[in-house]
A and B are shown apart, each in its own frame.
Chain A
Amino acid sequence: MATRTEQAARTALAAAIGTEHLRDAGQADTVGGVQPRWVASVDGTEQTAAAMRVAAEHGLRVTARGAGSKIDWGGTVEAVDLVLDLSRASEICEHAAGDLVLRARAGTSLAEVQRVAAEAGQQLSIDQPFPEATVGGVIATGTTGPGRHLFGAVRDLLIGITVVRADGVVTTSGGKVVKNVAGYDLGKLYTGSYGTLGVITEAIFRLHPLAAEHRWVAVTLSDPGAAGEAVHTVRSSQAMPTAVETDRAEPDGPITVCAHLEGRPQATHRRARELAERLDATVGVSGEVLDAAPPWWGRYPFGNAWGTGLRLGAEPAAIGSLLAGVQQAADHRDLPLAVRGSAGLGVLHAGVPDSADPAAVADLVRELRAVTTEYGGHAVVLRAPEAVRATVDPWGPIAEGELTLMHRTKDQFDPEHRLSPGRFVGGI
Chain B
Amino acid sequence: MVANGEQSSTLHALIRRFRDALAPDAVITDPQQLRTYECDGLANHRVVPAVVVLPEDAEQVRSVVRACAEYGIPFVARGSGTGLSGGALPHADGVLVVTSRMRRILEVDIANERAVVEPGVINLDVTRAATPYGYYFAPDPSSQQVCSVGGNVAENSGGAHCLKYGFTANHILAMEVVTPDGELVELGGRAPDAPGYDLLGAFIGSEGTLGVATRITVRLLRSPESVRTLLAGFPSTDEAGAAVSAIIADGVTPAAIEMMDALSIEAAEQAVHCGYPEGAGAVLVVELDGPAAEVDHTFAEVQRHCGEHGAFEVRVAADEAERALIWKGRKSAFAAVGRISRDYIVQDGVIPRTALPEVLARISALSAESGVRVANVFHAGDGNLHPLVLFDGDHPGAAERAEEVSGAILDLCLEHGGSITGEHGVGADKVRYMGRMFTSDDLDTMQRVRCSFDPENRCNPGKVFPTPRLCGEAPGPRRGVHPLTEAGLADQF
A210 within 8 A of B: yes
* Complex CA distance for A270 and B169, rounded to whole angstroms: 33
Identify which of B169, B179, B223, B453 contacts A185 (C-beta below 8 A): B169
Most buried by A among B162, B194, B195, B471: B195
Identify which of B248, B252, B483 contacts A98 (C-beta below 8 A): B248
Asked if B417 and A177 sit within 8 Å, CB to CB, the answer is: yes
Asked if B197 and A193 sit within 8 Å, CB to CB, the answer is: yes
Asked if B491 and A238 sit within 8 Å, CB to CB, the answer is: no
Asked whether A171 and B445 contact (CB < 8 A) given A181-B155, A406-B197, the answer is: yes
Give A141 Cβ to nearest chain B Cβ, in Å.
11
Total A residues in contact with B, Cβ cutoff 8 Å: 109
Give B455 Cβ to nearest chain A Cβ, in Å.
8
A332 within 8 A of B: no
Asked if A315 and B191 sit within 8 Å, CB to CB, the answer is: yes
Asked if A377 and B191 sit within 8 Å, CB to CB, the answer is: yes
Residue of B nearest to A34 (CB): B493
Identify which of B205, B352, B443 contacts A181 (C-beta below 8 A): B205
Identify which of B184, B193, B490 contacts A81 (C-beta below 8 A): B490
Residues from chain B with a CB closer than 8 A to the CB of A426 are 196
* Complex CA distance for A376 and B192, rounded to whole angstroms: 10
* Complex CA distance for A236 and B424, rounded to whole angstroms: 33
Name the interface residues of B227-257: CB closer than 8 Å to any CB of A. 245, 248-249, 251-253
Residues from chain A with a CB closer than 8 A to the CB of B112 are 315-317
Residues from chain A with a CB closer than 8 A to the CB of B484 are 5-6, 9, 58-60, 81
Name the interface residues of A412-428: CB closer than 8 Å to any CB of B. 412-413, 415-418, 421, 424-426
Indicate with 1 or 0, residue by residue over A164-199, a CB within 8 angstroms of chain B CB atoms.
010001111101111111111110110111000100
Indicate with 1 or 0, residue by residue over A247-271, a CB within 8 angstroms of chain B CB atoms.
0000000000000000110111011
Indicate with 1 or 0, residue by residue over A388-410, a CB within 8 angstroms of chain B CB atoms.
00000001101101111110110
A336 within 8 A of B: no
Asked if B438 and A346 sit within 8 Å, CB to CB, the answer is: no
Residue of A nearest to B110 (CB): A236
A240 within 8 A of B: yes
Question: How many residue pairs between the two chains, A and B, have CB atoms under 8 Å in the bound complex?
Answer: 321
Give B110 Cβ to nearest chain A Cβ, in Å.
8
Asked if A376 and B191 sit within 8 Å, CB to CB, the answer is: yes
B487 within 8 A of A: yes
Asked if A175 and B419 sit within 8 Å, CB to CB, the answer is: yes
Asked if B224 and A186 sit within 8 Å, CB to CB, the answer is: no
Asked if A411 and B475 sit within 8 Å, CB to CB, the answer is: yes
A279 within 8 A of B: no
Asked if A378 and B452 sit within 8 Å, CB to CB, the answer is: no
Asked if A236 and B222 sit within 8 Å, CB to CB, the answer is: yes
Q: What 10 A-B pairs come out closest when comparing CB atoms?
A: A376-B190, A188-B201, A313-B191, A377-B191, A209-B251, A5-B487, A408-B452, A401-B185, A317-B111, A238-B225
Apart from the given pairs A176-B352, A401-B185, 10 other A-B contacts in the complex at a CB distance below 8 Å? A99-B352, A175-B419, A179-B422, A180-B418, A188-B169, A268-B294, A375-B191, A411-B475, A412-B471, A413-B445
- Jot down 18 A-B pairs with beta carbons below 8 A, ordered by A: A98-B352, A153-B192, A169-B445, A171-B444, A173-B442, A179-B350, A182-B438, A183-B437, A184-B446, A186-B202, A188-B202, A191-B198, A314-B191, A345-B192, A346-B191, A375-B190, A398-B195, A416-B477
A contact set with B: CB distance below 8 Å: 2-6, 9, 34, 37, 58-61, 77-79, 81, 96, 98-101, 121, 142, 152-153, 155-156, 163, 165, 169-173, 175-186, 188-189, 191-193, 197, 208-212, 232, 235-240, 263-264, 266-268, 270-271, 311, 313-317, 345-347, 372, 375-378, 380, 395-396, 398-399, 401-406, 408-409, 411-413, 415-418, 421, 424-426
